[in-house]
Amino acid sequence: MALVVVDKLSYRYPDGRQALSEVSFVIRRGERIGLLGLNGAGKSTLLLCLAGVLKPEGRISVDGDRRRTLGLVFQDPNDQLFMTTVYDDVAFGPQNLGLTTDDVRSRVKQALQLVDAAGYEERLTHHLSFGEKKRVALATVLAMQPELLLLDEPTSNLDPKRRREFIKIIQNTRQAALIATHDLDLVRQVCDRVLILQAGRLVVEGGLALLDDLDLMRRMELI
């Protein structure tokens, strides 16, 4: 059963730049997909379209209420974390879902545990290190318990150790995920399938074996 069906998706920015052209694919429940592509290939744009922030041409059908089913984590954690304390930020989504205070508390606790940030509740957001911000940013979306995570370059700018830890955290989540990245290790360790975007077009789609096709990877300029 497909969770998300994307059919002939195109998007043009108001300044005239064509960021996506006729992209079509399917995401099944529980499936994890690596969305590969160079900078400017249109990965972020695709995630924003799926999340409903941008209004593209073409069709996106989601099995369920889109806002509750999809959870987007922005690339820059400073965009994702806008409240003053970690608790308030992680609680923001669940509160808007209309949960009781107790339920919100337990959601926050659980989400922070999932990202190795248990006990961070009272910390001030702007005093967190970059790695901590990245993890808490993921927690803000995990706390809403979406069925599909849309992660925009989750491991970018992390040092090797933090990056490994972050990959572990993503492995431990149970959701389906669409992960925009050019971190091939991340894709190898987390994903079941890859999509490769090139200048706004979906040019390759297939299993992890694609990553070992050096010829292809070189042509896609990903290695």
Ligand X SMILES: Nc1ncnc2c1ncn2[C@@H]1O[C@H](COP(=O)(O)OP(=O)(O)O)[C@@H](O)[C@H]1O
Q: Which residues bind another protein (CB under 8 A)?
A: 48, 51-53, 67, 71-72, 74, 76, 78-85, 88, 92-93, 95-97, 101, 124-126, 140-141, 144
- 39 sits near ligand X (criterion: CB under 6 A): yes
Tell me which of ligand X, Mg ion, another protein, none is bound by residue 136, counting a contact when its beta carbon lies within the kind-specific cut-off of 5 to 8 angstroms: none
Does 56 sit near ligand X (CB under 6 A)?
no
17 interacts with, out of Mg ion, another protein, ligand X, none, CB within 5 to 8 A per kind: ligand X
Fill in the per-residue mask, 181 to 210: x = in contact with ligand X (CB under 6 A), - = not in contact: ------------------------------
16-55 footprint of Mg ion as x/- string (CB under 5 A): ----------------------------x-----------
Least separation in angstroms between CB 75 and ligand X: 8
Inter-residue contact 206 to 213 (CB < 8 Å): no
Identify what 220 binds: ligand X, another protein, Mg ion, none; CB under 5 to 8 Å per kind: none
Residue 27 CA, chain-centre distance (Å), reads 13
DSSP state, 186?
H
**What count of Cα atoms within 13 Å lies in the side-chain half-sphere of residue 10?**
8
* C-alpha to C-alpha distances, 107 to 111, 125, 131, 137, 142, nearest whole angstrom: 6, 18, 21, 14, 9
The answer to the question of residue 42 lying near ligand X (CB under 6 A) is: yes
Contact 202, 195 (CB under 8 A): yes
43 binds ligand X (CB under 6 A): yes
Q: How far is the CB of 2 from ligand X (least distance, A)?
A: 24
Judged by CB under 6 A, the residue of 19, 90, 158, 190 near ligand X is 19
* DSSP character string of 57-123: EEEEEESS-HHHHEEEE-SSHHHH--SSBHHHHHHHHHHHTT--HHHHHHHHHHHHHHTT-TT-TTS
- Tell the smallest beta-carbon distance from residue 145 to Mg ion (Å): 25
Tokens 């799926």 locate to 50
Which residues is 73 bridged to in the sheet?
151
Nearer to ligand X, 89 or 153 (CB): 153
CB atoms within 10 A of CB 92: 17
CB 140 within 8 A of CB 89: yes
Residues interacting with ligand X, by CB under 6 A? 13, 15, 17, 19, 37, 39-45
